[in-house]
Amino acid sequence: MNTFFFVLFAVVVAGMAFAFYRSNKNSHSRLDILRYGKRVPGEIVDLEFFGLFYRFPVVRFQTRAGQLLTLTASDKAQVTEFSKGQQVEVCYLPEATDQFIIVSGLDVLVNSETEVAKGKYRLKKGQERRDNRK
């Protein structure tokens, strides 16, 4: 009987781990977005509820290519962190505009455009330089 529950538990945990892996497979890390992304002004247009203490901010921003986007952030925020109409700085990936973050806290210490240009960022194996330098 105990073996059955152990196996059932192991299958459930493995299934959850696989689902987590699949959901994050095509997403970029916060640091990658900050380093490779473009920063533009944005505005919080709505807050989607997530429990009692958290919200997902809905942000409207215009890309440097002129495309106006309204997207829901994937990072939840505390209730008091953002409010409707608040002006924020958004950092997005030009090749995947749905991959964005709201710049906050210590994010301001990472300068996306100068770190890559100065070569301070080490590229991962198989990654190409975006500034065409060798």
How far is it, in rounded angstroms, from Cα 124 to Cα 113?
18
Q: pLDDT band for 62, please (50, 70, 90 cuts).
A: very high
Q: pLDDT band for 120, please (50, 70, 90 cuts).
A: very low
Task: Check whether 10 has a pLDDT greater than 90.
Answer: no
Q: What mean pLDDT, rounded, does the chain reach?
A: 76
Q: Which two tokens stand for residue 19?
A: 């689902």
pLDDT (0 to 100) of residue 122: 47
Q: pLDDT band for 66, please (50, 70, 90 cuts).
A: very high
Q: What are the distances in angstroms from CA 101 to CA 18, 31, 60, 90, 133?
A: 25, 10, 12, 6, 27
How far is it, in rounded angstroms, from Cα 105 to Cα 40?
17
pLDDT (0 to 100) of residue 97: 87
Could you tell me what percent of the chain has a pLDDT over 90? 28
pLDDT (0 to 100) of residue 11: 78
Task: Check whether 134 has a pLDDT greater than 50.
Answer: no
Dihedral sign from CA coordinates of 111, 116, 118, 122: positive
pTM above 0.75, yes or no: no
Task: Check whether 95 has a pLDDT greater than 80.
Answer: yes
Q: Which domains does the chain have, with CATH numbers?
A: 29-117 (2.40.50)
- pLDDT digits over 18-60, tens only? 555 444 445 678 888 888 899 999 999 999 988 888 889 999 9
